[in-house]
Structure 1
Amino acid sequence: MKILIADDHTIVRDGIKLLLVEAYPFAEITDVCDSVDLMKQVNKQKWDIIICDISMPPGESGLEAVKQIREHYSRMPIIVLSMHPADQYAVRAIRAGAMGYLTKGAATKELVMAVNTVMSGKKYLSADVAAILADAVESLNHAPAIDNLTNRELEVFKLIAQGKGVTDIARELVLSPNTVSTFRARIFEKMGFQNNFDLMRYALENKLI
């Protein structure tokens, strides 16, 4: 059994490995710290399961990596393990191609169960994630504007909400300032913002930062 772990925090990777070694003593476990090395390992060999974070350099590139893996290796099972609350990212992760979504706070008691479920070919949905997905399906035709943002637009949205300027965002996401400005314009158009203050107020009111 070959397991690949991707997370930018060493202590998190070590904790996940301890859990998995206890449950699967003969597993071959490899860990990487960013999405670039994640994709290198995925392209290099076949994995029985991938456990991937969302927030890895650059930005929140974990979701983009999940999408790429699903496009090129459709049968490679992926569990997203994130610090973000399920109501913010679970739907996006499942849409990107993940077969399970866990918050890091619940990982100790659920991770092995999730791995076993996904390895059997089924999706692992905790009760809260299942409820969120059900609500997302029910409100599909009148989804809030934030759900209409692409993953990259959501990254830019959150960085603007944190008070970062175009140049800083471009540097953090490894994009050109013009590209960031384009994303900002799209965000404003989709959500009806007139200025950064409108965006920051929305983020605070909806607990997005």
Structure 2
Amino acid sequence: MIRIMVVDDHAVVRSGLKMLLDAHADLEVIGEAADGDEAIQKALSLLPDVVLMDLSMPHGKDGLRTTEELKKLQPDVAVLILTMHDDEEYLFRAIHFGASGYILKSAPHEELISAIRLVAAGDAYLHPNATKRLMGEYIDKLKNGAEAGTYESLSDREKEILAKVAQGYSNKEIAEQLIISVKTVESHKSNLMEKLSLKTRPDLVKFALKKGLLHFES
């Protein structure tokens, strides 16, 4: 049984989705939420397998920020963005914030059911147009010699901070050594981790170790 929570600010949409999903023997809607804050609160107590997340919610957090926060608190939950926006900007941001899939509200019911089952199993789902766009961008990057996620994509300052963070220095210590503000260090650190698709300090240390960057000062 796949446990699902539906997040949408329209009660009629939540009701319709619940009826549709509960009609399938392997799907169960265990909770609903009308905004981002309610979604996070309920997800922490209900522990759904999949969260169907609307992007546009006028009150409180939108779907993207809710997804980002929820994935930090519950990394194993699969978030499937269900939206009317067929816009590549929303698509790329949704993936960046941790969504497992992105499907349009205009998609056939069968496609939605299939997408839910896929993300629940740990796979990713993108509607066909979105897949074409992502592939197109990836090919463009290869042609331009600028494939994302590489060490070469970092600035000199980001490479410097990467090495120091991996060596165990705190943000304050790095700021003092480089004569910059702690806020600047935090900004560089956030940017480099995003470029390298790293989530935690251990991930960063492993990356630095592979690149041979851990040269400790005596």
Relative to the length of structure 1, the TM-score reads: 0.62
Q: Bigger shift: 83-92 or 34-43?
A: 83-92
* Deviation of the 1:29 alpha carbon: 2.6
In the superposition, relative to structure 1, how do residues 72 and 137 fare at CA in structure 2: closer, same or farther (>3 Å)?
A: farther
Compare the two structures and name the one with the higher helix fraction.
Answer: 1
5+ residue gaps, structure 1: 143-209
Tell me which residue corresponds to 1:192. Answer: none
Tell me which residue corresponds to 2:106. Answer: 105
Tell me which residue corresponds to 2:62. Answer: 61
Matched-pair contact (CA < 8 Å) for 2:35–2:61: no
Tell me which residue corresponds to 1:137. Answer: 138
Tell me which residue corresponds to 1:156. Answer: none
Tell me which residue corresponds to 1:72. Answer: 73
Identity across the alignment (%): 29
The secondary structure found in structure 2 opposite 1:39 is: helix
* Deviation of the 1:103 alpha carbon: 1.0
Matched-pair contact (CA < 8 Å) for 1:86–1:102: no
* Deviation of the 1:135 alpha carbon: 2.7
Tell me which residue corresponds to 1:13. Answer: 14
The secondary structure found in structure 2 opposite 1:23 is: coil
Question: Deviations along 1:45-68, whole A, 9 cap, x unmatched?
Answer: 311110000111337611001011
Q: Does 1:123 align with 2:124?
A: yes
In the superposition, relative to structure 1, how do residues 92 and 139 fare at CA in structure 2: closer, same or farther (>3 Å)?
A: farther
* Deviation of the 1:18 alpha carbon: 1.7
Whole-angstrom CA distance in 1 between matches of 2:16 and 2:45: 25
Whole-angstrom CA distance in 2 between matches of 1:83 and 1:91: 15
In the superposition, relative to structure 1, how do residues 128 and 59 fare at CA in structure 2: closer, same or farther (>3 Å)?
A: farther
| Number of matched pairs | 143
Matched-pair contact (CA < 8 Å) for 1:91–1:132: no
Matched-pair contact (CA < 8 Å) for 1:81–1:107: no
5+ residue gaps, structure 2: 148-218
In the superposition, relative to structure 1, how do residues 72 and 45 fare at CA in structure 2: closer, same or farther (>3 Å)?
A: same
Matched-pair contact (CA < 8 Å) for 2:4–2:27: no
Whole-angstrom CA distance in 1 between matches of 2:27 and 2:93: 33
Structure 1 or 2, whichever has the larger Rg, is 2
Whole-angstrom CA distance in 2 between matches of 1:26 and 1:139: 39
* Deviation of the 1:38 alpha carbon: 0.4
Relative to the length of structure 2, the TM-score reads: 0.59
Whole-angstrom CA distance in 2 between matches of 1:7 and 1:93: 16
Segments ≥4 residues shifted beyond 6 Å: none
In the superposition, relative to structure 1, how do residues 135 and 99 fare at CA in structure 2: closer, same or farther (>3 Å)?
A: same
Tell me which residue corresponds to 1:32. Answer: 33
